[in-house]
Structure 1
Amino acid sequence: MPAAEGPRELPPALLTDPEMIRACRTRDFATIFTLVRRRAGIYPSRIAALCGMTPSRVGEIAAGRRKLAHIDVIERVADGLRIPGAMLGLAHRPWEIPAQATLTEPQPAPPPPATPVADLDSILNLVDAAQVTRSTLAAIQSSIQDYWRRDDQHGPAALRPAVVGQLRHTQQLIDNTRESPLRHGLLTLAAELARLAGWAYFDARQFSTARTYFTQALTMAQSVGDRQFIANVLSCMSLQATYEGDANDAAALACAAQDAARGTDSPDLVMAMLHMREAFAHATLHAGNDCHRSIDKARAHFERADHASAPQWVRYFDETKLIVDTGIALAQLGEHRQAEPLIAEGLRREHRDQQRGRAFHAFWLASTQLRNGALDQACSTASLALDLATNVDSPRIVGHVREFHTHLAAHAQEAPVIAFEAKMREAFS
């Protein structure tokens, strides 16, 4: 290894080797240095350079003729050889948790420069002078469906500019279209685009911007009298309130959504989804009876639902989604034994293309397994979630990584945790 090269991760197989774990626990640096040389190919001269010691001192320690006692030297060894602090009885070292896994509230997106926006609007005004046809609506609807598909696969972060641009374009078309069924259709599509923009900013944890777009979607849905879509937007706002810790607001929004959808054509699938959102809010409030009552109502509506006549936007709420959301609600409520098999079954059923959803659900499953005392299984499931998360740009998933890692603190010296932390650092490097 060239002298200029910095520290590198030790192989996970070495960090989780029982002999290495015992040596670290007892601070047997003679064995540690020997294993590092044999298993990682880091020789005494390189150990000395990485750990700020002389080669002769490293040789004496490796031969057992000298001990390490000073905490600052032990910390240098941990940092130089990338041995997790918990293995040596130290606090987590600064390099162990990558910066990307430390959540800070994202700054709101800066407004675009005034001149480019004006230029774009001028261009769109020229284009939008053309007559809107049914093909125009079909093309926009096709784009929306594609956005949602890509959201499932990769998260919405990269979609935000396209969605916001498509929304602005649709608004220009509305402004240039007289009252007609076509204008009504454009307003309906604009409402869906505004909801999608809100969802994208919600997933990015930019909650204020998300709320602005959700409100815009709500206004458009009201203008066309689409009560079911009004309920849809309110359900999104309910979920966001749950994430923001406003569980009472979340429950109120879910109930308002149910009121909006009640009595409309074919409402059962919509109502099933809405009652599940209410269950999430009650679970966060630790209102067990209310949570179970909402779950029962969701299941009853689902069993009566005519999926073929339900709105397109709610058809994602299938049997698999009902199962996994029930498990998540029970997990939030603290009923981990009942939650685990439901989330596991939902994860097993989910389509491989739904990478963001699978990543979320894998972390929920890992959390329930950890709560149920299955540390090895929990870390294995969390590793699967990391594999999925590397293909998805979602700050919400990063939040789940951080939360799960926090719960591992009491087991920091266990081999499965050491291996998971090594994989987490690799995934976010």
Structure 2
Amino acid sequence: MPAPERPCELPTALLHDPEMAHACRIRDFAAIFYLVRRRAGIYPSRIAALCGMTPSRVGEIMSGRRKLAHIDVIERVADGLRIPGAMLGLAHRPWEIPSRAMVTEPELSSVARTGQEEEADRGGMKGLDDILSLVNEDRVTRPMLTAIQSSIEDYWRRDDQHGGAALRPAVVGQLRHVQRLIVSTTDGGLKRSLQSLAAELARLAGWAYFDARRYSTARSYFSQALLLAKDIGDQQFTANVLSCMSLLATYEGGAGEAAALACAAQDTARDTAPSALVMSMLHMREAFALASLRDAAACYKAIDKAHQNFERAADEGPAPQWVRYFDETKLVVDTGIALAQLGEPHKAEPLIAEGLRRENATQQRGRAFHAFWLATTQLQQGALDQACDTAGLALELATSVESPRVTGHVREFHARLHPYARETSVIAFEAKMREALS
């Protein structure tokens, strides 16, 4: 038997054709090969080479003189012609879902391992900072602090647009630089400002690792940020870090811990001013956790408090910079996500759809997440074709960001489609996945 040649994709239109779908469903390989020749221009000799068969055998199959019954040969046909396994009644073939969509969390087991990964982010140049410190005697100035703050704001913009994966080495390096400056600075006011910047950088590093699904490392940086914020007595930023840890706990399946962290954050920020917008965001974090716990009454109560505080925020002074992302659009879409997590897709769908309509086009990662949530609510309501179309939009958005969290949502949504694997819209979505993520 000749070795199969390199497979090639069939035209998407052919895979969606009802005649092809029917032929695959009943495993009529004479009709399949005929359609492949007529619609894809792949002649019998090429079919034979792709599927590891002889041309004469392919000719016998096409003439109806021979049938295919052995599962290993049917699998070779599926793999050689790139026919999705579900169309032929097979399990998903290994090539159908690219490796990027099968991300697993490379969980880190200890603080010592975290240090190794941080060293890798620095490019393995152990001792370089100590060497440079001998020749670079940085004098901390207010313009220097302003420049670092500007860098942090730029990091957040880039994280929102492109994901945090590529930012981690730069953010960790900036954090270590600021930590060295803290040690060498004697001016109390400048030292406090540096500690505040270090807290922001540590939270940003934690967020970047969280987006990369490096949850243990993310927790380590969030803990650093928490200690720094407490050292300088910044209660609102302490609450902010606790809210990040709450979201991380929700992703890790610790909904009870997530709810407790969100409540601790509220207690920390409650008596600060201005606090309404901060409290609105924190109540929504609590709602996420309560939705995961399926506590509907408490979840609705948290959502109501989030909306009440948001209305009060308009009468207060400017909120901290880090919480201003939580605008009305974010409130609307997060309310929809909480209801979706609660298992109420009919209420969630219009809210998430409205949020997507309002969102800034530059917020690629957020829009990708929200599109997958919208697709999930549509699927839960039985609108399979609409759900797959929406998920296709999410895939387009996901290709512009480097975010394993987004890829994780791709995987989760795809897993929900398994009961419908033979449906045309699902096959079309999987084709888009292969094109987008391979």
TM bucket by the smaller chain? over 0.9
Check the 8 A contact 2:4/2:51 in 1, yes or no: no
Q: Provide the C-alpha distance between the structure 2 equivalents of 1:37 and 1:124, rounded to a whole number of angstroms.
A: 69
222-231 or 35-44: which moved more? 35-44
Q: Deviations over 1:214-240 (max 9, x none)?
A: 010011101111000000000000000
Give 2:286's aligned residue. 278
Give the drift of 1:398.
Answer: 1.2
- The 3-state SS of whatever aligns with 2:125 is helix
Check the 8 A contact 2:4/2:49 in 1, yes or no: no
Give 1:316's aligned residue. 325
State the aligned residue count: 426
Give the drift of 1:86.
Answer: 0.7
Q: 2:179 aligns with which of 171, 186, 196?
A: 171
Q: 1:117 aligns with which of 122, 126, 131?
A: 126
Give 1:17's aligned residue. 17
Q: 2:231 aligns with which of 223, 226, 229?
A: 223
Check the 8 A contact 2:5/2:50 in 1, yes or no: no
For residues 50 and 281 of structure 1, do their structure 2 counterparts lie closer, same or farther at Cα, with a shift above 3 Å needed? same
Q: 1:187 aligns with which of 184, 187, 195?
A: 195
TM-score by length of 2: 0.94
Give 2:342's aligned residue. 333
Q: 2:404 aligns with which of 395, 400, 410?
A: 395
Give the drift of 1:120.
Answer: 2.0
Letter of the 1:71 partner, please give it: I
Q: Provide the C-alpha distance between the structure 2 equivalents of 1:409 and 1:190, rounded to a whole number of angstroms.
A: 46
Give the drift of 1:212.
Answer: 0.8
Q: Provide the C-alpha distance between the structure 2 equivalents of 1:38 and 1:148, rounded to a whole number of angstroms.
A: 52
79-88 or 64-73: which moved more? 64-73
Check the 8 A contact 2:255/2:293 in 1, yes or no: yes
Q: Provide the C-alpha distance between the structure 2 equivalents of 1:247 and 1:235, rounded to a whole number of angstroms.
A: 13
- The 3-state SS of whatever aligns with 2:127 is helix
Give the drift of 1:9.
Answer: 1.4
Q: Provide the C-alpha distance between the structure 1 equivalents of 2:192 and 2:33, rounded to a whole number of angstroms.
A: 73
Check the 8 A contact 1:184/1:224 in 2, yes or no: yes
Give 1:87's aligned residue. 87
TM-score by length of 1: 0.96
Letter of the 1:419 partner, please give it: A
Q: Does 1:214 align with 2:214?
A: no
Letter of the 1:200 partner, please give it: A
Q: Provide the C-alpha distance between the structure 2 equivalents of 1:313 and 1:259, rounded to a whole number of angstroms.
A: 19
Question: Percentage identity across aligned positions?
Answer: 71
Letter of the 1:60 partner, please give it: E
Q: Deviations over 1:247-275 (max 9, x none)?
A: 11000000000000011011000000000
Give 1:252's aligned residue. 260
Check the 8 A contact 1:125/1:172 in 2, yes or no: no
For residues 191 and 21 of structure 1, do their structure 2 counterparts lie closer, same or farther at Cα, with a shift above 3 Å needed? same
- The 3-state SS of whatever aligns with 2:53 is coil
Check the 8 A contact 1:124/1:169 in 2, yes or no: no
Letter of the 1:345 partner, please give it: E
Letter of the 1:101 partner, please give it: A
Q: Deviations over 1:143-201 (max 9, x none)?
A: 00000000011100000000000001111111111142221111111100000000011
Q: Provide the C-alpha distance between the structure 1 equivalents of 2:4 and 2:23, rounded to a whole number of angstroms.
A: 28
Give 2:351's aligned residue. 342
Check the 8 A contact 1:157/1:393 in 2, yes or no: yes
Q: Provide the C-alpha distance between the structure 2 equivalents of 1:125 and 1:17, rounded to a whole number of angstroms.
A: 70
Q: Provide the C-alpha distance between the structure 1 equivalents of 2:260 and 2:321, rounded to a whole number of angstroms.
A: 25
Give 2:360's aligned residue. 351
Give the drift of 1:64.
Answer: 2.7
Q: Provide the C-alpha distance between the structure 1 equivalents of 2:335 and 2:107, rounded to a whole number of angstroms.
A: 33
Check the 8 A contact 1:154/1:355 in 2, yes or no: yes
Letter of the 2:252 partner, please give it: E
Q: Does 1:407 align with 2:413?
A: no
Q: How much is the aligned-residue C-alpha RMSD, in angstroms?
A: 1.6
- The 3-state SS of whatever aligns with 2:401 is coil
172-181 or 401-410: which moved more? 172-181
Give the drift of 1:308.
Answer: 5.4
Letter of the 2:298 partner, please give it: D
Q: Provide the C-alpha distance between the structure 2 equivalents of 1:124 and 1:42, rounded to a whole number of angstroms.
A: 66
Q: Does 1:197 align with 2:205?
A: yes
Give the drift of 1:54.
Answer: 1.3
Check the 8 A contact 2:274/2:317 in 1, yes or no: no
- The 3-state SS of whatever aligns with 1:116 is coil
Give the drift of 1:242.
Answer: 0.3
Check the 8 A contact 1:7/1:80 in 2, yes or no: yes
Q: Provide the C-alpha distance between the structure 1 equivalents of 2:249 and 2:4, rounded to a whole number of angstroms.
A: 50
Check the 8 A contact 1:218/1:233 in 2, yes or no: yes
Check the 8 A contact 1:137/1:185 in 2, yes or no: yes
Give 1:383's aligned residue. 392
Give 1:103's aligned residue. 103
Give the drift of 1:101.
Answer: 1.5
Give 1:8's aligned residue. 8
Q: Provide the C-alpha distance between the structure 2 equivalents of 1:226 and 1:67, rounded to a whole number of angstroms.
A: 75
380-389 or 71-80: which moved more? 71-80
For residues 236 and 125 of structure 1, do their structure 2 counterparts lie closer, same or farther at Cα, with a shift above 3 Å needed? farther
Q: Provide the C-alpha distance between the structure 2 equivalents of 1:141 and 1:305, rounded to a whole number of angstroms.
A: 25
For residues 4 and 77 of structure 1, do their structure 2 counterparts lie closer, same or farther at Cα, with a shift above 3 Å needed? closer
Q: 2:244 aligns with which of 236, 241, 245?
A: 236
Gaps of at least 5 residues in structure 2 are 109-113
Q: Deviations over 1:53-93 (max 9, x none)?
A: 11112112222333222222212111111111110111111
Letter of the 1:221 partner, please give it: A
- The 3-state SS of whatever aligns with 1:309 is coil
Q: Does 1:76 align with 2:76?
A: yes
Q: Does 1:148 align with 2:156?
A: yes
